[in-house]
Structure 1
């Protein structure tokens, strides 16, 4: 693996072989100095090499592939020139927005193909042959299975963003459908903040031996990130301790934003509703929400209208939310790699940040695995026992009320789903009866004619 040290000597974007219009677009966005991943990967991509870039969250990986792709596109513009695959809808939308901003001078056309949107409208977009397509594997595979009206035969670039997540197994069937539709003669670019077992698989996907660049840091999380744990004996104390941490943080940093990560969608909704009950204005982000609700939550959080986001791991990767100062792991991440992505939401672009993980005595072993992965020891974050005891009852009441509310919402949602299923079944039965009557009538007419 090629892994080079980022030298102290200064280098500008213009030194990487990029054309003036791209450099000027970056300057207009306040970007002049390339990050290490950009410095080493952009020249290789411009030379036509396949590339694997492994670099910390917030290190500028999107521009590392977007800039050379746009330069090559400007030399020979046609669609579909590049396909970018991502594991989440929100990340797909964000990448597309960055392409649009940089590619404005060449009138770039970008399509976002993700779940939660109208299939027919998306099909029309695909048929218009956009220059860049950014997609989640599931929805794109659905389009490929249901339509022969578009082709990737001339596509020059395939990008796997958050490549390790795409190759974990969840998207295997969809990726097989997509790779089958792509030409073998293409450049394959793979980027992620973490990579281990899947590196050989990525090399195979790249077809030709790729250039591999990985940050040389022994620590998988950024140096300016303070990382702590809070040890709690049971859930009652955990919830009250969470409120005490938020009170303390917001009291000292009234203009700062925070993300609370939870283990699943139901837990996310529960914590979000409970915090609302206790006067903490927040927005939730999880895969059970409708797409418009997910986009609204991100918009409110990124615009600082809401300073608290409660989310599942759907928010842990790639989202560019630069103002986050605190990440709280309400639930210990199931694997150490997830921890790296979660805490990567803070301490971005050289700024400091704080990460606090709540653990029970049973979760000390998972914490040790995280420490081994990141090569850093977490220190205890002190929470006032007296203050926690003072709010314990109030917090417990709020959580119980939230649990009832979430259960009622689930029951209402199931009722609505069952209603739609029943209506669909009735519609099917009506069609079958209509078909039977039609066949019976045809037989009767034949008898009359005979």
Structure 2
């Protein structure tokens, strides 16, 4: 149900290059003050004396909404001490108790009296290209949403009204140049083509968000989440008598609290003797792949991400089922996780194992069954970890690793030794217990013919 008791207007012109069936797009200059007018247009309860409004800048695209917190944290690191959204208090009128929480740098709030019109001037200090993988300039930048959520100034607050609009932010004077470019392009079009586009309006009327589509837990100006999961009915003809509508889903960002997944327990030396390695089916190395099932629930997806070393993305995908994650294309994953991790996650989802750089086959002297040890990184530490995994002990229990050299000398395994170890070499393993502790020295004896 729509609430026609309030109205929000952004005093900035809409683009003339917006088609009739699309939501309006407004261009802003970075750091320039723009007025947001708030006024009562209908009846409010008599006991409502003051209202509290929260203005925020959120991402328009769904892929960025999923990783909003990471994007904002990255921006904060690059520009410490700065805010994405400011309220220009000296220019604002009819507002009081202006608050700009340093932890929510993309939002600000203020109190106003609905019996009088209020005017809040906002400044957006980031530009659209700061959140694109490649910096092409303003035209290739990502769109934002300016959203205003209004509540009663009571305890607890009651949600009254929400509205938003789509914007792009350019470097200073960039919005003016973009408007000029759009006008010139429209002038070159035929009259028939011009009828397919909306006219440009001097002001942007924020499109109301129906209250029943807002979750009840969000009905608070102190909510830490940066955007609502709402459907926006976009007004395609601002400030005119007729309009067309379009449904656009605005997805919520993930919860700030990461999903915690219990790590797999390590079998201690008291449970499995170093002298009795497990069967090949029990030996687990980091190269073992467990394909993600489409039937996996959100908890199982989180566990799979942890096992495949994607723990940084557990929170982003915390509401995804296995089918949801498998539906994402390689390009989607690169946009969400970045180039390197996106390719790696796509390979894991497609069950593409990484070819090891060094493969060793080890067995106990008294056995004829070999176990494969795969090294993706040619370091002594990686070899130590793989051998510890093979024998189900903690890596701290292995003091050093030696390779038996000519005349049965013991050569300490270093990174350089690992790099020069022949691929597919066969070794017998001997564990020597340290007299002063429960730790071991590992000796690898080559089984190759001299």
> How would you bin the TM-score normalised by the shorter chain?
under 0.3
Whose radius of gyration is greater, 1 or 2? 2
> Which has a greater percent of strand?
2
> Which has a greater percent of helix?
1
Query: Structure 2 length normalisation: TM-score?
Result: 0.27
The structure with higher relative contact order (CA 8 Å, sep 6+) is 1
